[in-house]
Amino acid sequence: MDIKPILAALRHHKGGTALIALQIALTLAIVCNALFIIQQRLDRVGRPSGVQESDLFVIQNDWAQKLAPAEADARMRADLQTLRQLGSVQDASASNSFPLHGAGWDNFVRMSPDQVKMTTDSAIFFADEHTLATLGTRLAAGRNFRADEIGSQTGNDPLHARQVIISDGLARTLFPHGSALGKTIYTSNDQSPSTVIGITGTLQSHLTELWAQPYAYNAVLVPARLTGDSTFYLVRARPGQLVDAMRQAQDALYAQSRMRIIPADGGVMTFAQARQRAYDADYGMAILMGIISAVLLVITAAGIVGLTSFWVGQRRKQIGVRRALGARQRDILGYFLTENLLITLGGLLLGVVLAVALNLWLVIRLGSQPMSPLYLAGGVLLLLLLGQGAVLAPALKASRVPPVEATRSV
Protein backbone atom coordinates (compact mmCIF):
# COMPACT_ATOMS: atom_id res chain seq x y z
CA MET A 1 0.00 0.00 0.00
CA ASP A 2 1.46 3.33 -1.11
CA ILE A 3 1.28 5.86 1.67
CA LYS A 4 2.02 8.99 -0.35
CA PRO A 5 -1.54 9.54 -1.65
CA ILE A 6 -2.94 8.64 1.78
CA LEU A 7 -0.74 11.24 3.43
CA ALA A 8 -1.75 13.71 0.74
CA ALA A 9 -5.42 13.05 1.49
CA LEU A 10 -4.85 13.30 5.26
CA ARG A 11 -3.41 16.76 4.80
CA HIS A 12 -6.91 17.83 3.79
CA HIS A 13 -8.40 16.47 7.02
CA LYS A 14 -5.98 18.00 9.48
CA GLY A 15 -8.53 18.70 12.22
CA GLY A 16 -9.94 15.20 12.59
CA THR A 17 -6.54 13.63 12.06
CA ALA A 18 -4.87 15.79 14.71
CA LEU A 19 -7.67 15.22 17.21
CA ILE A 20 -7.60 11.45 16.96
CA ALA A 21 -3.77 11.38 17.01
CA LEU A 22 -3.80 13.55 20.12
CA GLN A 23 -6.34 11.27 21.74
CA ILE A 24 -4.14 8.27 20.98
CA ALA A 25 -1.11 10.11 22.36
CA LEU A 26 -2.84 11.00 25.63
CA THR A 27 -4.24 7.51 25.96
CA LEU A 28 -0.80 5.99 25.50
CA ALA A 29 0.77 8.37 28.02
CA ILE A 30 -1.87 7.73 30.65
CA VAL A 31 -2.37 4.01 30.04
CA CYS A 32 1.39 3.23 30.12
CA ASN A 33 1.82 5.04 33.41
CA ALA A 34 -1.40 3.61 34.81
CA LEU A 35 -0.35 0.06 33.94
CA PHE A 36 3.03 0.73 35.51
CA ILE A 37 1.37 1.99 38.69
CA ILE A 38 -0.95 -1.03 38.69
CA GLN A 39 2.03 -3.37 38.36
CA GLN A 40 3.87 -1.55 41.15
CA ARG A 41 0.85 -1.84 43.42
CA LEU A 42 0.32 -5.50 42.60
CA ASP A 43 4.01 -6.14 43.26
CA ARG A 44 3.62 -4.53 46.67
CA VAL A 45 0.48 -6.46 47.44
CA GLY A 46 2.14 -9.71 46.41
CA ARG A 47 5.24 -9.25 48.58
CA PRO A 48 5.81 -12.04 51.11
CA SER A 49 5.29 -11.04 54.71
CA GLY A 50 7.54 -13.76 56.07
CA VAL A 51 4.60 -14.95 58.13
CA GLN A 52 2.73 -18.22 57.64
CA GLU A 53 -0.51 -16.41 57.11
CA SER A 54 -2.96 -19.29 57.07
CA ASP A 55 -4.30 -20.26 60.52
CA LEU A 56 -3.00 -17.01 62.01
CA PHE A 57 -5.31 -14.43 63.52
CA VAL A 58 -5.03 -11.29 65.60
CA ILE A 59 -7.06 -10.11 68.58
CA GLN A 60 -7.06 -6.43 69.48
CA ASN A 61 -7.41 -6.23 73.26
CA ASP A 62 -8.20 -2.83 74.86
CA TRP A 63 -8.34 -2.73 78.64
CA ALA A 64 -11.58 -1.26 79.93
CA GLN A 65 -9.78 0.64 82.70
CA LYS A 66 -6.40 2.19 83.34
CA LEU A 67 -4.11 -0.53 84.70
CA ALA A 68 -0.84 -0.28 86.55
CA PRO A 69 2.02 -1.71 84.47
CA ALA A 70 2.43 -4.72 86.76
CA GLU A 71 -1.30 -5.42 86.71
CA ALA A 72 -1.41 -5.12 82.91
CA ASP A 73 1.58 -7.47 82.60
CA ALA A 74 -0.04 -10.01 84.89
CA ARG A 75 -3.27 -9.91 82.91
CA MET A 76 -1.41 -10.26 79.62
CA ARG A 77 0.47 -13.33 80.89
CA ALA A 78 -2.78 -14.82 82.15
CA ASP A 79 -4.48 -14.14 78.83
CA LEU A 80 -1.64 -15.77 76.91
CA GLN A 81 -1.75 -18.84 79.14
CA THR A 82 -5.50 -19.08 78.60
CA LEU A 83 -5.13 -18.80 74.84
CA ARG A 84 -2.32 -21.38 74.64
CA GLN A 85 -4.44 -23.86 76.59
CA LEU A 86 -7.28 -23.79 74.08
CA GLY A 87 -7.55 -27.02 72.10
CA SER A 88 -7.89 -25.21 68.78
CA VAL A 89 -4.88 -22.98 69.42
CA GLN A 90 -1.34 -24.00 68.57
CA ASP A 91 0.48 -21.00 70.05
CA ALA A 92 -0.01 -17.36 71.02
CA SER A 93 2.03 -14.28 71.72
CA ALA A 94 1.49 -10.61 72.56
CA SER A 95 2.91 -7.66 70.69
CA ASN A 96 2.52 -3.95 70.11
CA SER A 97 2.03 -4.54 66.40
CA PHE A 98 2.57 -7.12 63.69
CA PRO A 99 3.67 -7.24 60.02
CA LEU A 100 1.42 -5.25 57.66
CA HIS A 101 -0.56 -3.70 60.54
CA GLY A 102 0.27 -0.17 59.37
CA ALA A 103 0.65 1.29 62.86
CA GLY A 104 3.40 0.53 65.37
CA TRP A 105 6.83 1.53 66.52
CA ASP A 106 9.66 2.28 64.16
CA ASN A 107 13.01 3.42 65.49
CA PHE A 108 16.24 4.61 63.93
CA VAL A 109 18.93 1.98 64.02
CA ARG A 110 22.56 2.99 64.53
CA MET A 111 25.80 1.09 64.48
CA SER A 112 27.47 3.07 67.29
CA PRO A 113 26.13 5.03 70.27
CA ASP A 114 27.44 8.39 69.08
CA GLN A 115 26.31 8.03 65.49
CA VAL A 116 24.29 11.12 64.58
CA LYS A 117 22.66 9.99 61.39
CA MET A 118 20.71 6.75 61.41
CA THR A 119 21.89 3.77 59.40
CA THR A 120 18.35 2.73 58.72
CA ASP A 121 14.86 2.66 60.16
CA SER A 122 13.23 -0.46 61.54
CA ALA A 123 9.98 -1.73 62.98
CA ILE A 124 10.11 -2.64 66.67
CA PHE A 125 8.03 -5.69 67.59
CA PHE A 126 7.73 -6.64 71.25
CA ALA A 127 8.08 -10.38 71.42
CA ASP A 128 8.55 -13.42 73.62
CA GLU A 129 9.79 -16.97 73.18
CA HIS A 130 6.50 -17.90 71.45
CA THR A 131 6.46 -15.09 68.87
CA LEU A 132 8.43 -16.78 66.08
CA ALA A 133 6.42 -20.00 66.37
CA THR A 134 3.17 -18.06 66.47
CA LEU A 135 4.04 -16.05 63.37
CA GLY A 136 5.42 -19.13 61.67
CA THR A 137 8.59 -17.18 60.94
CA ARG A 138 11.70 -19.29 60.71
CA LEU A 139 14.92 -18.51 62.52
CA ALA A 140 17.68 -18.38 59.94
CA ALA A 141 20.58 -18.07 62.37
CA GLY A 142 21.25 -17.81 66.10
CA ARG A 143 18.72 -18.66 68.76
CA ASN A 144 15.24 -17.75 69.95
CA PHE A 145 14.52 -15.80 73.14
CA ARG A 146 14.42 -17.80 76.36
CA ALA A 147 11.49 -17.35 78.76
CA ASP A 148 13.75 -15.85 81.38
CA GLU A 149 14.87 -13.11 79.00
CA ILE A 150 11.36 -11.72 78.53
CA GLY A 151 10.70 -8.55 80.48
CA SER A 152 7.99 -5.94 80.42
CA GLN A 153 7.90 -2.20 79.95
CA THR A 154 5.54 0.65 79.25
CA GLY A 155 5.54 2.80 76.22
CA ASN A 156 7.14 5.62 78.21
CA ASP A 157 10.13 3.54 79.30
CA PRO A 158 13.30 3.74 77.21
CA LEU A 159 13.85 0.72 75.07
CA HIS A 160 16.37 -1.47 76.93
CA ALA A 161 16.91 -4.65 75.02
CA ARG A 162 20.17 -6.39 75.73
CA GLN A 163 19.38 -9.10 73.23
CA VAL A 164 17.43 -8.67 70.03
CA ILE A 165 16.43 -10.83 67.12
CA ILE A 166 16.48 -9.01 63.81
CA SER A 167 15.04 -9.74 60.43
CA ASP A 168 17.18 -10.99 57.59
CA GLY A 169 16.50 -7.75 55.67
CA LEU A 170 17.77 -5.57 58.49
CA ALA A 171 20.78 -7.82 59.04
CA ARG A 172 21.82 -7.44 55.42
CA THR A 173 21.33 -3.68 55.55
CA LEU A 174 23.39 -3.28 58.72
CA PHE A 175 26.06 -5.86 57.94
CA PRO A 176 26.18 -6.30 54.18
CA HIS A 177 29.61 -7.97 54.27
CA GLY A 178 29.29 -10.34 57.20
CA SER A 179 26.99 -12.00 59.68
CA ALA A 180 25.04 -9.80 62.09
CA LEU A 181 24.99 -12.55 64.67
CA GLY A 182 26.67 -11.49 67.93
CA LYS A 183 27.07 -7.93 66.70
CA THR A 184 25.92 -4.86 68.61
CA ILE A 185 23.34 -2.42 67.33
CA TYR A 186 21.61 0.61 68.84
CA THR A 187 17.86 0.92 68.55
CA SER A 188 17.19 3.35 71.35
CA ASN A 189 17.91 7.04 71.86
CA ASP A 190 19.53 6.43 75.23
CA GLN A 191 22.52 4.71 73.60
CA SER A 192 21.94 1.32 75.26
CA PRO A 193 23.43 -1.47 73.13
CA SER A 194 21.61 -4.56 71.90
CA THR A 195 23.31 -7.78 70.88
CA VAL A 196 21.91 -9.64 67.93
CA ILE A 197 21.23 -13.20 69.14
CA GLY A 198 19.10 -14.36 66.24
CA ILE A 199 18.27 -13.60 62.64
CA THR A 200 14.92 -14.51 61.16
CA GLY A 201 14.16 -15.31 57.58
CA THR A 202 12.04 -12.80 55.66
CA LEU A 203 9.96 -10.72 58.05
CA GLN A 204 8.01 -7.69 56.95
CA SER A 205 7.62 -4.50 58.93
CA HIS A 206 4.25 -3.12 60.01
CA LEU A 207 4.86 -0.25 57.57
CA THR A 208 3.18 -0.54 54.19
CA GLU A 209 3.32 3.03 52.94
CA LEU A 210 5.28 3.92 49.82
CA TRP A 211 7.73 6.13 51.73
CA ALA A 212 8.66 3.15 53.91
CA GLN A 213 9.52 0.97 50.93
CA PRO A 214 13.28 0.93 51.77
CA TYR A 215 12.50 -0.23 55.31
CA ALA A 216 9.76 -2.70 54.45
CA TYR A 217 11.75 -5.74 55.58
CA ASN A 218 13.48 -4.21 58.60
CA ALA A 219 12.28 -5.59 61.95
CA VAL A 220 13.75 -5.81 65.43
CA LEU A 221 12.19 -8.26 67.89
CA VAL A 222 12.56 -7.00 71.46
CA PRO A 223 12.15 -9.52 74.33
CA ALA A 224 9.44 -7.76 76.31
CA ARG A 225 5.72 -7.38 76.81
CA LEU A 226 4.57 -3.83 76.24
CA THR A 227 2.08 -2.91 78.93
CA GLY A 228 -0.31 -0.17 78.07
CA ASP A 229 -3.94 0.54 77.29
CA SER A 230 -4.08 -2.10 74.63
CA THR A 231 -2.20 -4.98 73.08
CA PHE A 232 -2.44 -7.36 70.18
CA TYR A 233 -2.64 -11.11 70.79
CA LEU A 234 -1.25 -13.01 67.84
CA VAL A 235 -2.78 -16.48 67.79
CA ARG A 236 -1.94 -19.46 65.59
CA ALA A 237 -4.79 -21.92 65.27
CA ARG A 238 -4.20 -25.58 64.78
CA PRO A 239 -4.39 -26.41 61.06
CA GLY A 240 -7.96 -26.21 59.81
CA GLN A 241 -9.35 -24.88 63.10
CA LEU A 242 -9.08 -21.15 62.42
CA VAL A 243 -12.79 -20.36 62.69
CA ASP A 244 -13.23 -22.36 65.87
CA ALA A 245 -10.09 -20.87 67.40
CA MET A 246 -11.19 -17.29 66.65
CA ARG A 247 -14.55 -17.84 68.36
CA GLN A 248 -13.11 -19.83 71.29
CA ALA A 249 -10.29 -17.35 71.87
CA GLN A 250 -12.63 -14.39 72.15
CA ASP A 251 -14.98 -16.33 74.47
CA ALA A 252 -12.07 -17.50 76.61
CA LEU A 253 -10.67 -13.99 77.01
CA TYR A 254 -14.04 -12.61 78.06
CA ALA A 255 -14.41 -15.56 80.45
CA GLN A 256 -11.02 -14.68 81.90
CA SER A 257 -12.05 -11.07 82.44
CA ARG A 258 -14.89 -8.87 81.23
CA MET A 259 -12.81 -5.76 81.88
CA ARG A 260 -11.68 -5.52 78.29
CA ILE A 261 -12.97 -4.40 74.94
CA ILE A 262 -12.46 -6.41 71.80
CA PRO A 263 -13.81 -4.15 69.04
CA ALA A 264 -16.72 -5.62 67.13
CA ASP A 265 -15.30 -4.37 63.85
CA GLY A 266 -11.91 -5.92 63.25
CA GLY A 267 -11.24 -6.79 66.88
CA VAL A 268 -10.66 -10.37 65.83
CA MET A 269 -9.42 -10.80 62.31
CA THR A 270 -7.52 -13.30 60.30
CA PHE A 271 -4.13 -12.35 58.97
CA ALA A 272 -5.65 -12.53 55.49
CA GLN A 273 -8.07 -9.77 56.53
CA ALA A 274 -5.18 -7.79 57.98
CA ARG A 275 -3.35 -8.13 54.68
CA GLN A 276 -6.45 -6.97 52.80
CA ARG A 277 -6.73 -3.92 55.06
CA ALA A 278 -3.04 -3.14 54.67
CA TYR A 279 -3.31 -3.06 50.92
CA ASP A 280 -6.79 -1.59 50.53
CA ALA A 281 -5.35 1.62 49.13
CA ASP A 282 -3.16 -0.32 46.71
CA TYR A 283 -6.07 -2.45 45.54
CA GLY A 284 -8.15 0.73 45.22
CA MET A 285 -5.45 2.50 43.25
CA ALA A 286 -4.94 -0.50 40.97
CA ILE A 287 -8.68 -0.77 40.32
CA LEU A 288 -8.97 2.99 39.73
CA MET A 289 -6.05 2.97 37.31
CA GLY A 290 -7.50 -0.08 35.60
CA ILE A 291 -10.88 1.63 35.18
CA ILE A 292 -9.27 4.83 33.90
CA SER A 293 -7.20 2.84 31.41
CA ALA A 294 -10.20 0.81 30.25
CA VAL A 295 -12.37 3.93 29.86
CA LEU A 296 -9.64 5.74 27.92
CA LEU A 297 -9.11 2.76 25.65
CA VAL A 298 -12.85 2.46 25.00
CA ILE A 299 -13.13 6.21 24.29
CA THR A 300 -10.15 6.06 21.93
CA ALA A 301 -11.54 3.03 20.13
CA ALA A 302 -14.93 4.74 19.89
CA GLY A 303 -13.21 7.86 18.54
CA ILE A 304 -11.47 5.87 15.83
CA VAL A 305 -14.67 4.02 14.92
CA GLY A 306 -16.60 7.29 14.87
CA LEU A 307 -14.12 9.25 12.81
CA THR A 308 -13.54 6.45 10.31
CA SER A 309 -17.26 5.81 9.99
CA PHE A 310 -17.77 9.51 9.35
CA TRP A 311 -15.02 9.54 6.75
CA VAL A 312 -16.39 6.43 5.07
CA GLY A 313 -19.81 8.08 4.85
CA GLN A 314 -18.28 11.30 3.61
CA ARG A 315 -16.11 9.55 1.02
CA ARG A 316 -18.66 7.02 -0.19
CA LYS A 317 -18.67 8.41 -3.71
CA GLN A 318 -14.88 8.66 -3.73
CA ILE A 319 -14.68 5.00 -2.71
CA GLY A 320 -17.03 4.16 -5.58
CA VAL A 321 -14.76 6.08 -7.97
CA ARG A 322 -11.73 4.19 -6.73
CA ARG A 323 -13.59 0.91 -7.20
CA ALA A 324 -14.61 2.01 -10.70
CA LEU A 325 -10.98 2.76 -11.49
CA GLY A 326 -9.93 -0.74 -10.51
CA ALA A 327 -9.58 -0.87 -6.74
CA ARG A 328 -10.40 -4.26 -5.30
CA GLN A 329 -12.28 -4.60 -2.02
CA ARG A 330 -9.02 -5.40 -0.28
CA ASP A 331 -7.47 -2.23 -1.72
CA ILE A 332 -10.19 -0.14 -0.08
CA LEU A 333 -9.84 -2.10 3.16
CA GLY A 334 -6.08 -1.61 3.01
CA TYR A 335 -6.51 2.08 2.34
CA PHE A 336 -8.48 2.69 5.52
CA LEU A 337 -6.32 0.37 7.62
CA THR A 338 -3.18 2.13 6.38
CA GLU A 339 -4.69 5.55 6.87
CA ASN A 340 -5.59 4.66 10.45
CA LEU A 341 -2.18 3.09 11.00
CA LEU A 342 -0.49 6.32 9.92
CA ILE A 343 -2.66 8.40 12.26
CA THR A 344 -2.08 5.91 15.09
CA LEU A 345 1.68 5.89 14.53
CA GLY A 346 1.72 9.69 14.60
CA GLY A 347 -0.26 9.66 17.84
CA LEU A 348 1.98 6.98 19.33
CA LEU A 349 5.11 8.94 18.50
CA LEU A 350 3.76 11.90 20.41
CA GLY A 351 2.37 9.55 23.05
CA VAL A 352 5.78 8.04 23.80
CA VAL A 353 7.16 11.51 24.48
CA LEU A 354 4.17 12.37 26.69
CA ALA A 355 4.38 9.04 28.54
CA VAL A 356 8.06 9.55 29.37
CA ALA A 357 7.37 13.15 30.41
CA LEU A 358 4.49 12.08 32.66
CA ASN A 359 6.62 9.37 34.24
CA LEU A 360 9.44 11.85 34.84
CA TRP A 361 6.98 14.18 36.52
CA LEU A 362 5.75 11.33 38.73
CA VAL A 363 9.34 10.42 39.60
CA ILE A 364 10.32 13.99 40.44
CA ARG A 365 7.16 15.15 42.17
CA LEU A 366 5.74 11.99 43.72
CA GLY A 367 8.79 9.79 44.16
CA SER A 368 7.56 7.14 41.78
CA GLN A 369 9.99 4.77 40.12
CA PRO A 370 11.16 5.21 36.52
CA MET A 371 8.93 3.29 34.16
CA SER A 372 10.40 0.33 32.35
CA PRO A 373 10.51 0.77 28.54
CA LEU A 374 8.58 -2.50 28.36
CA TYR A 375 5.46 -0.62 29.44
CA LEU A 376 5.94 1.81 26.55
CA ALA A 377 6.44 -1.06 24.14
CA GLY A 378 3.40 -2.85 25.55
CA GLY A 379 1.30 0.31 25.39
CA VAL A 380 2.33 0.99 21.81
CA LEU A 381 1.46 -2.58 20.80
CA LEU A 382 -1.85 -2.41 22.67
CA LEU A 383 -2.89 0.83 20.97
CA LEU A 384 -1.75 -0.38 17.56
CA LEU A 385 -3.93 -3.45 17.94
CA LEU A 386 -6.78 -1.38 19.38
CA GLY A 387 -6.54 1.12 16.52
CA GLN A 388 -6.50 -1.51 13.80
CA GLY A 389 -9.26 -3.47 15.56
CA ALA A 390 -11.42 -0.37 15.91
CA VAL A 391 -11.04 0.65 12.28
CA LEU A 392 -11.77 -2.82 10.94
CA ALA A 393 -15.58 -2.61 10.98
CA PRO A 394 -15.87 0.78 9.22
CA ALA A 395 -13.08 -0.20 6.82
CA LEU A 396 -14.90 -3.42 5.92
CA LYS A 397 -18.04 -1.36 5.40
CA ALA A 398 -16.07 0.92 3.08
CA SER A 399 -14.75 -2.03 1.12
CA ARG A 400 -18.32 -3.12 0.43
CA VAL A 401 -19.24 0.17 -1.26
CA PRO A 402 -20.12 -0.92 -4.82
CA PRO A 403 -18.31 0.63 -7.80
CA VAL A 404 -21.63 1.80 -9.23
CA GLU A 405 -21.62 4.39 -6.43
CA ALA A 406 -19.34 6.39 -8.72
CA THR A 407 -22.24 7.09 -11.09
CA ARG A 408 -24.67 8.22 -8.40
CA SER A 409 -25.17 11.89 -7.76
CA VAL A 410 -24.52 13.01 -4.17
User: Nearer Cβ to other proteins, position 273 or 407?
Assistant: 407
User: Nearer Cβ to other proteins, position 215 or 311?
Assistant: 311
User: Nearer Cβ to other proteins, position 50 or 320?
Assistant: 320
User: CB of 14: closest distance to other proteins in angstroms?
Assistant: 11
User: Nearer Cβ to other proteins, position 21 or 383?
Assistant: 21
Q: Which range of residues in 11-19, 174-182, 203-211, 381-389 is near other proteins by CB under 8 A? A: 11-19
Q: Which of 16, 267, 290, 403 binds other proteins (CB under 8 A)?
A: 403
User: CB of 26: closest distance to other proteins in angstroms?
Assistant: 27
User: Nearer Cβ to other proteins, position 112 or 314?
Assistant: 314
Binders of other proteins among residues 270 to 329 (CB under 8 A) are: 317-318, 321-329
User: CB of 406: closest distance to other proteins in angstroms?
Assistant: 6
Q: Which of 3, 5, 298, 299 binds other proteins (CB under 8 A)?
A: 5
Using CB under 8 A as the binding rule, whether residue 15 contacts other proteins is answered as no
Binders of other proteins among residues 324 to 383 (CB under 8 A) are: 324-329, 331
User: Nearer Cβ to other proteins, position 206 or 322?
Assistant: 322
> What phi and psi, each to the nearest 5 degrees, are found at residue 207?
-80, 130
Q: Which range of residues in 5-13, 32-40, 221-229, 236-244 is near other proteins by CB under 8 A? A: 5-13
Q: Which range of residues in 139-147, 167-175, 208-216, 398-406 is near other proteins by CB under 8 A? A: 398-406
User: Nearer Cβ to other proteins, position 189 or 407?
Assistant: 407
- How many residues touch other proteins under the rule CB under 8 A: the total is 26
- List interacting residues with other proteins (CB under 8 A): 2, 4-5, 8-9, 11-13, 317-318, 321-329, 331, 402-404, 406-407, 409
